[in-house]
Structure 1
Amino acid sequence: MSDVPALDPLLEQRRSPSVFDPEHSLTRPELMSLLEAARWSPSWGNTQPWRFLVGLRGDATHALIVETLTRGNLAWAPAASAILIGLRQVAALPDDPKGELRTYDYTAYDLGQAVAHLTVQAASLGLDVHQFAGFDHAALAATARVPDHLQPVAGIAIGRWWPETERHGVDPAIEAKEQRPRQRRPAGELVL
């Protein structure tokens, strides 16, 4: 559509790769920058009702998360430099005297905004993000000892997309998925 203004390249070129460079490592400053972007996301009543379980490839938390992945995600996600699990608050914090008065209906929305901010920050750093739901939420919560007031919602794989010219040994089904063109519904279908 010629009357639609151009998107910012960080948004227009965003992708959710299933092929991450297995040699790339996320630096601590990059990780902190991503978490800082999420921290500054808007939230209902400035409650910031999200938390992240952070696993860097090779550490114990990453291994714990990988153990809970569904078969489809197990084929690609472990190669990401980091896997985060986004958690939303579903009950009062243990030390929040006003907690009983709060509503937790919006916390999934707020977590989504925080992850969106993290995703755009990742793009600004030359990183890619693939969000996913395919993991055993209950097993992860139990194994990671997630407090009762938090609920695992989404996985967030972060790393460097592995360019086709450099990659080798990728599962053919995943390779075929990578080759599919990016498509979106027409904008007219998004407005009621």
Structure 2
Amino acid sequence: MLTPLLRQRESTMVYDPTHVLAPGALRAILEAARWAPSAGNSQPWSFIVGLRGDATHAAIVDLLSTANQAWAPAASAILLTLHQAATDEDHEVSYSDYAMFDLGQAVAHLTVQARSMGLQVRQFGGFDHAGAAARFAVPAHWAVTTGIALGLPGTRGEEWNLPGWVQARSRMPRSRLPLERFVHSGEFGHPADFLG
């Protein structure tokens, strides 16, 4: 049976704009990311964290796409994720072929921890990556990868002051491909026998 933490996870675009994320809660969420597995225990991830009302949050909001500026600022925190792309600034040698995969695992851990605390996470890619690297002095051997909105989901009806497209998306039912579409055995495209 699927854990409710995953079943009830949503990529919400409607956040409670009054919710304040306590330092201890944020630390616990990032601690979950810290304990994610990684190739060779390389832990090739970093996070830039902005809490609503601070300068980092405001700077991240300025870098967001117009669409993401419509909803993300209400989140209690906005994070930028980074992965180590090379061994150091003087080398173009890939740090790890699996660094982005490892970052994804760290974000997944973070997401489940947040959900266990009654919070929701929405990941996004719509922002000025180069601008973020420059604004936050990201070293050349690190790559700004994705953004994360984190906070307490708003209640039904709180989306009324958001653009119509956000309201429509916030009401869309969740859907997923059936296992038969992506679990194979024998050869690619053949649904695994155990699926029936």
TM-score when scaled to structure 1? 0.90
CA distance in 1, matches of 2:109, 2:59: 25
> Using a 3 Å threshold, how does the CA distance of structure 1 residues 100 and 66 change in structure 2: closer, same or farther?
closer
User: Per the alignment, in what secondary structure is the counterpart of residue 52 of structure 1?
Assistant: strand
User: Displacement of 1:25 after TM fit?
Assistant: 1.0
User: Displacement of 1:175 after TM fit?
Assistant: 1.0
CA distance in 2, matches of 1:70, 1:171: 14
User: Displacement of 1:105 after TM fit?
Assistant: 1.5
Q: Percent identity?
A: 53
1:156 is aligned to 2:148:
yes
User: Displacement of 1:102 after TM fit?
Assistant: 6.8
User: Displacement of 1:87 after TM fit?
Assistant: 0.2
Structural mapping, 1:91-170, within 5 Å: 91-93=86-88, 103-165=95-157, 168-170=160-162
CA distance in 2, matches of 1:177, 1:58: 26
User: Per the alignment, in what secondary structure is the counterpart of residue 162 of structure 1?
Assistant: coil
RMSD: 1.7
Question: Using CA pairs below 8 Å that are at least 6 residues apart, which structure has the higher relative contact order?
Answer: 1
Cα pair 1:64 1:144 within 8 Å, conserved: no
> Using a 3 Å threshold, how does the CA distance of structure 1 residues 86 and 165 change in structure 2: closer, same or farther?
same
In the TM superposition, what whole-angstrom CA distance separates every residue of 1:74-133 from its partner, at most 9, and x where no partner exists? 111111000001100011247xxxx99874211000000000000000001100000000
User: Per the alignment, in what secondary structure is the counterpart of residue 120 of structure 1?
Assistant: helix
CA distance in 2, matches of 1:46, 1:101: 18
1:187 is aligned to 2:179:
yes
Q: Which runs of 5+ in 2 are unaligned?
A: 185-196
Cα pair 1:56 1:82 within 8 Å, conserved: yes
| Deviant stretches of 4+, over 6 Å | 99-102
Instruction: Using the TM superposition, name which of 162-171 and 49-58 deviates more.
Output: 162-171
Question: What is the match of residue 189 of structure 2?
Answer: none
1:26 is aligned to 2:18:
no
Cα pair 1:49 1:88 within 8 Å, conserved: yes
Structural mapping, 1:2-21, within 5 Å: 6-21=1-16
Question: What is the match of residue 72 of structure 1?
Answer: 67
Amino acid at match of 1:91: A
User: Per the alignment, in what secondary structure is the counterpart of residue 16 of structure 2?
Assistant: coil
Question: What is the match of residue 192 of structure 2?
Answer: none
User: Per the alignment, in what secondary structure is the counterpart of residue 33 of structure 1?
Assistant: helix
CA distance in 2, matches of 1:103, 1:87: 13
Question: What is the match of residue 81 of structure 2?
Answer: 86
In the TM superposition, what whole-angstrom CA distance separates every residue of 1:56-90 from its partner, at most 9, and x where no partner exists? 01111111111110111111111100000110001
TM-score when scaled to structure 2? 0.89
Query: Of 26, 40, 57, which aligns to 2:52?
Result: 57
Q: Which runs of 5+ in 1 are unaligned?
A: 1-5
User: Per the alignment, in what secondary structure is the counterpart of residue 24 of structure 1?
Assistant: coil
